[in-house]
Structures are given as structure tokens and as C-alpha cells.
Amino acid sequence: MKLYEGIFVFSPQTTAEERKTQEQALEGVIKKFEGRIVERVDWGRRPLGYPVRKFKDGYYLILVMEIPTLGMTDFRKAMELHSDVIKFMITVKNPKLSTLPSARPVQSEMAGAESHHHSRG
């Protein structure tokens, strides 16, 4: 299994309870593809680099996951169809690099990677 880092953005209009349900559904998709979550960071509400589905910000969840390489293509397709996730980006995680960022002051973390992300909108 490879280690992947995923940034998942949920609608800013959801309640805390709805986000919990959405995150559980996301975890279910990861398990469906025989993956597991290694680390998670709830980054909270942050601005998007540009509007997505008319939203200017969203709730960010960062996950480090182990997923079999063969399942990753299907996992990405499933994420594109996942109605709760308005934007996501998945990259291969280098295990030699440091752990996930903590909740730090807002910077456009995804701005440099905008040409490499998946979005629906």
C-alpha cells in the first residue's frame, strides 16, 4: 500500500453535525477501497483560491491514508462523484517528509497546486 495525502473541502453551509456525517461517509469510501486513515487534521473553515460552486470558502479536512495503488484510480473517481466534497486533491505522500501541518494561520495552501487539483463546479 502507498501512503497518500488528501485535502478534502466540504461546503461552508454545513453544520458541525452534517460535517461529522460527511466525514464518516468519506471514511466509508476509503474503507471500501481497502484503505485506512493514518492521520487526520481538521483545518476548519478557510478561503478557497477561487470560487467553487459559488462558494468562496469551505471546511478543509486533511487525511493521510494508506490505499492500495490499484484502488486509487477508482477512489479518485468515487471522490469526483461524492456530492459532499466540493473540491479535493490527493498526492502521494513521501514518508520521509514531516507530518501534516497543524491548524495554522490561513495561507492559500492549495494556491500553488491549483493546476493539479480536482474540482467540480
pLDDT value, residue 101: 59
pLDDT value, residue 84: 87
Architecture of domain 2-94: 2-Layer Sandwich (3.30)
Strands 55-67 and 85-92: unpaired
Three-state DSSP at 41 gives strand
pLDDT value, residue 105: 45
Q: Provide the residue ranges of all domains of the chain, joining segments of one domain with +.
A: 2-94
- Chunked into runs of 10 residues, the chain (121 residues) has average pLDDT values of 93 92 94 94 93 93 94 92 91 75 48 43 48
If residue 111 lies in a helix (H) or strand (E), which one and from where to where? none
Residue 20 backbone phi and psi in degrees, to 5? -60, -45
